[in-house]
Amino acid sequence: MIRAAAAMVKCLEAEGINCVFGYPGAAICPFYDELYSSDIHHVLVRHEANAGHAASGYARMTNRPAVCIATSGPGATNLLTAIATAYADSIPLICITGQVSTDQIGCDVFQEVDITGAAEPFVKYSYLVKDANDIPRIFKEAFYLAGTGRKGPVLIDVPQDVQNVQIDFEYPYDIKMRTYKPTYKGNPLQIQRICDAVNKAQRPLLCVGGGIFLSGAEREVAEFAKKACIPAVSTMMGLSIFPTDHPMYVGMIGMHGLRSANTAMNSCDTIIMIGARVGDRAVRSPSFLAEGKTVIHIDVDPAEIGKNIPVDIPLVGDCKVILSELCEMEYDNDHSDWIEQVFDIKNAVPENEETEGYINPKVFIRKLSDRLPDDTVCVADVGSNQIWTCNHYGFRKGARFLTTGGMGTMGYSLPCGIGAKMAAPEREVVVICGDGSFQMQLMELATIIQENISVKIIVMKNKRLGMVRELQTKCYDDRLIATDIGNYPDFVALANSYGIEADRVSTMAEAEEKIEKLASSKKAYLLECNVYKLESTL
Amino acid sequence: MKHTVSVLVENRAGVLARIAGLFARRGFNIDSLAVGETNDPTISRITIVADGDDHTAQQLEKQLNKLVDTIKVRTLSPDELLARELQLIKLNATPAQRSEILTICEVMGGKIVDMTPTSITIEISDSPEHLQRFRALIEGYGIKEIVRTGTIAIQKGVVTIR
Ligand SMILES: Cc1ncc(C[n+]2csc(CCOP(=O)(O)OP(=O)(O)O)c2C)c(N)n1
Ligand SMILES: [Mg+2]
């Protein structure tokens, strides 16, 4: 017999977890007490949302569920934003929360909140553990649910008294769930129909989304594009599947995407959406787009197919499995005229223009990516800084881009970068954020220094909530309100106060030298970039 | 358009909240809802009648299927189902009106289950359409209170949902 809290730790060990992110409190103390004698490394973040975001970064780099922990009440509610963010991007998380003791549930006692109820709309599943003996089964199921099918966060809420019960521990080998059976293999008839449609198409286009990463199909999708001679565009979540300069890759679509990519979307006659959910930021008027086109939609989640766009050939299954199946088929059309046409559409190049005393963020980000290693993990926050990164960072083979596409949660980038670096310590991790968003996560500078996590941070300081400022200028008659965040703080001095090396760059002339210093540093490093307040997103 | 959806789910705590929440989130108004254990005590059947267009109904079926607790979802088309609802109706009734009301009940299949000098309580179970007709007949006496269950439905013939 062991304490249920010890069983929880053993479950994590059995799942191969060796790093977790969390923040303690009374209701989760029995679990922490058992973590004390485990080899699992606990990263103490400075806000529970960041535990979730860090786990998200970790999960995305390992492609396995990652674990975050919070206490009951405010700890659990702080975690909510991260859970919702993970849900929107289908990131597999195991979220463990402490809960008040079973006999107190429903009495509105100190730090009691119905967290399974609150999180219900944006978890894949949740458990409120009432019987400690269920813990091994629940953990087994939770990892299975989070990490298979359409991935997502699973919440396990464990009352404090339950954590202290003695139970017989055996980690189950099998999962007995009669209801949950995700489809992996594609229906052969539909595969044939897709192959026929591609062969018939004059102007086929592949649109790849975050699902490609989630199923680990990066290699297969490139092979399919090559074999079937189909040019590809990506959603924001699909950025870096193809290197930016890949001969078959056009660019990112959507309201902030490239002209070439959007034109290709509009002028193709057959579109294969794969691992992309046709979100409104990617495709603004789906039914208009679908008109006169053959729409093929491949996704592991049947509910996504036909939800936002009318579909001619639906196919449910795992991207990797299906792409391998598609690669087995014969394709006899080289679509070369179409490919030529697609790559003929030119995009606006960012002018090298400079405003006195400021850097040009678009050119700067290009220079930054030129200097960083090929396999750098680049994390962008939300706002203009995110779009600058999407459109100007040059992803080479092996690079990885991370951002929050579905929720656009400010404050995601640094904790996500922390998680990514913990998962892939040998890779360079660069975080690009705005001065507004950085202030929603700057407490994590402490985590970085305490854990010695050498992420590189770029803060684009335009003294504005730039993207919202731009919206007010364009759509609200330039009536600017609540978007001026002033020239605070001095981010260099701030970083230094944590013992983190930092510098500032204000002209393009010194950009390369400053980037060099950042790139060659072996430790965490922050670079504050002075950006003109009216710098445009696109 | 009205849709009758029959859902078999794991008989566990919290499942009803998940299903009801799903309807609310997807902008579907629930007209009625009935839950009960099936002959297998680990499975409950939820019968939902909801209003919405076909696309939303289709989406809803998919979203219901996606819930981890869902075992089976079936949208029943109007011509394949037998639907029943139970109502308890408390009606104003003076002694002089009683025999009239009794006649209506006899013809329409209502049963008197309680009576006072000024009221009658009727129990009736039938298809929603029949109950509507019944209601029209008795409305004139003055309805004091109506309590109704959600609609439950089963398929005609030998086919079953399991
Ligand atoms: C948590 C959260 N709050 C508010 C928003 C709305 N929002 C979107 S972009 C943006 C401005 C971000 O400012 P900053 O981080 O400085 O980036 P910039 O656009 O200036 O590059 C805001 C407030 C959001 N996405 N997330
Ligand atoms: Mg800003």
Measured from the alpha carbon of residue A386, the closest ligand is: 1
Chain B positions in Cβ-Cβ contact with residue A116 (cut-off 8 Å): 14
Chain A positions in Cβ-Cβ contact with residue B71 (cut-off 8 Å): 178-179
What's the whole-number average pLDDT of chain B? 93
What is residue B110's DSSP assignment?
-
Residue A153 sits in the same domain as residue A285:
no
Residue A24 sits in the same domain as residue A122:
yes
Give the integer Cα–Cα distance in Å for A415 and A418.
5
Whether the predicted interface score ipTM is above 0.85: yes
Would A178 be classed as within a structural domain?
A: no
Would A496 be classed as within a structural domain?
A: yes
Work out the pLDDT band at A352, boundaries 50, 70, 90.
Answer: low
Residue A162 sits in the same domain as residue A293:
no
Higher per-residue confidence, A527 vs A334: A527
Which domains are assigned to chain B?
2-76 (3.30.70.260), 82-152 (3.30.70.1150)
**B26 touching A, CB under 8 A?**
no
| Among A120, A145, A180, beta carbon nearest to B18 | A120
The one-letter code for the residue type at B74 is: R
Range of the structural domain that residue A86 is part of: 2-167
Number of domains chain A is built from: 3
Computed from CA positions of residues A370, A372, A376, A380, in that sequence, does the dihedral angle turn out positive or negative?
Answer: negative
Residue A316 sits in the same domain as residue A379:
no
Would A276 be classed as within a structural domain?
A: yes
Closest to A183 measured CA to CA, from A303, A266, A289: A303
Would A451 be classed as within a structural domain?
A: yes
| Domain containing residue A461: CATH number | 3.40.50.970
Residue A310 sits in the same domain as residue A407:
no
Residue A153 sits in the same domain as residue A242:
no
Integer CA distances (angstroms), A454 to A281, A378, A426, A526, in order: 33, 13, 10, 10
What is residue A177's DSSP assignment?
-
Residue A7 sits in the same domain as residue A153:
yes
pLDDT tens for residues A48-61? Answer: 999 999 999 999 99
Residues in chain A: 538
Residue A150 sits in the same domain as residue A262:
no
Would A238 be classed as within a structural domain?
A: yes
Whether A303 sits inside 8 A of B66 (CB atoms) is yes
DSSP state string for A105-166: TTS--TT---HHHHHGGG-SEEEE--SGGGHHHHHHHHHHHHHSSS--EEEEEEEHHHHTSE
The stretch A289-298 carries a mean pLDDT of 94
pLDDT score for A333: 86
Higher per-residue confidence, A400 vs B162: A400
Question: Which residue bears the tokens 């596409």?
Answer: A405
Would A399 be classed as within a structural domain?
A: yes
Chain A positions in Cβ-Cβ contact with residue B68 (cut-off 8 Å): 124-125, 145, 177, 179-180
Alpha helices by DSSP H, A156-285: 160-163, 188-200, 211-214, 218-228, 259-267
Domain limit, last residue, from A344, A370, A389: A344
The stretch A507-525 carries a mean pLDDT of 97
Residue A392 sits in the same domain as residue A518:
yes
Residue A136 sits in the same domain as residue A201:
no
pLDDT tens for residues A153-168? Answer: 999 999 999 999 999 9
Integer CA distances (angstroms), B27 to A185, A245, B24, B30, B65, in order: 32, 43, 5, 10, 17
Residue A257 sits in the same domain as residue A204:
yes
| Domain containing residue A337: CATH number | 3.40.50.1220
Would A13 be classed as within a structural domain?
A: yes
Domain limit, last residue, from A309, A344, A379: A344
For residue A92, the surrounding DSSP H or E stretch is none
Give the integer Cα–Cα distance in Å for A158 and A133.
12
From chain A residues 277-306, the ones with a CB under 8 A of any chain B CB are: 301-303, 306
Residue A116 sits in the same domain as residue A192:
no
For residue A76, the Cα-to-chain-centroid distance in whole angstroms is 21
Whether A145 sits inside 8 A of B14 (CB atoms) is no
Domain limit, last residue, from A137, A167, A197: A167
Would A538 be classed as within a structural domain?
A: no
Q: Hey, of A114, A176, A179, which one would you mutate to test binding to chain B, going by the most B CBs within 10 A of its CB? A: A179
